[in-house]
Amino acid sequence: MIINKILDEVFSTWSNIAVLRVLNKVKIGLSGREIAKQSGMSAPSCLKALSSLENLNIVTRQRGGRDHFFNLNREHFLVGKIIIPILNQENKFKESLLKEIAQKLGKYSISLFLFGSVVRKEERIDSDLDICVVYRNLTARKKVETEITELGYLLYEKYGVSLAPFYISESDFRNRIKSKKPPITDVLKEGKLLFGKSIKELLND
* Structural domains in the chain plus CATH codes: 7-75 (1.10.10.10), 92-204 (3.30.460)
Higher-pLDDT residue of 202, 65 = 202
Measured in Å, how far apart are the chain's first and last C-alpha atoms? 65
Residue 168: pLDDT band (50, 70, 90) is very high
- Own/partner contacts of 16-21, CB < 8 Å, gap of 24 or more, are 16/49, 16/52, 16/53, 18/49, 19/46, 19/49, 19/50, 19/53, 19/59, 20/53, 20/58, 20/72, 20/83, 20/87, 21/87, 21/90
pLDDT tens-digit series, residues 38-54: 999 999 999 999 999 99
pLDDT of residue 46: 98
- Cis status, amide bond into 85, omega within 30 of 0: no
188 contacts: CB under 8 Å, gap ≥ 6: 177, 199
Answer yes or no: is pLDDT of 100 > 90: yes
Residue 175: pLDDT band (50, 70, 90) is confident
110 near 144, Cβ under 8 Å? no
- Rounded average pLDDT over 101-111: 95
Residue 18: pLDDT band (50, 70, 90) is very high
196 dihedral zone (left: phi>0; alpha: psi -120 to 50; beta)? left
